[in-house]
Amino acid sequence: MTPVFHALAPASAAYPFLRKDSHRLLLLQGGVIALAGVLPDLLDPHTTLQARHVSFTHTLAAWAGFSALLILPAWKFAKTLPPSFWCIVSLSYLSHIFLDAISGGVQCLRPISSVLVGGPYVPFRYWLWCDVAALVTAYTLYRWLPVFRKRLSGKPQLR
């Protein structure tokens, strides 16, 4: 999958579980989740799709390390964001490994095992369509829906 899908798919999937009392906070939460979703590729950029097979950032060990580091922001921002949000951020990183596993495979058990987990279940020709669907969904949830809700709440109620 492309970085666009890695970022937007978990941000859209997490939308129902995010705080929506402030649009700025909603965008911040979605942004952090999107960043976590694309982080394995940002930490270990590669030019070939095959290179991700051996990337350490695409392993369960890297996910565990990333999740452990989330304790720091979870403690720092405990009054603003609940612990469940940081669990979602952790799952967003894990979703990257899963999505790469179903779109080619990753050696996610390294350094214990170098077995390739997954395979090309989502062929490359569908990736662009996945990106388009993710873009439309994310725009609808993070831009269009808040505006629609605001307009609805601003109108006088009919009796």
Interaction site with Zn ion (CB under 5 A):
40-41, 52, 100
Of 85 and 96, nearer to Zn ion (C-beta) is 96
Minimum gap (Å) between residue 73 Cβ and Zn ion: 23
> What's the rounded Cα separation, in Å, for the pair 52 and 50?
5
Kindly state the smallest distance separating residue 125's Cβ from Zn ion, in Å.
18
Q: What's the min distance (Å) between Cβ of 86 and Zn ion? A: 21
Of 52 and 110, the one with the shorter C-beta distance to Zn ion is 52
Cα 42–chain centre separation = 13
Q: CA–CA separation, 35 vs 23, rounded Å?
A: 18
Cβ distance to Zn ion smaller for residue 26 or 117: 117
**Could you give the CA distance from residue 8 to residue 142 in angstroms, rounded to a whole number?**
11
Nearest to 13 by CA among 82, 78, 95: 95
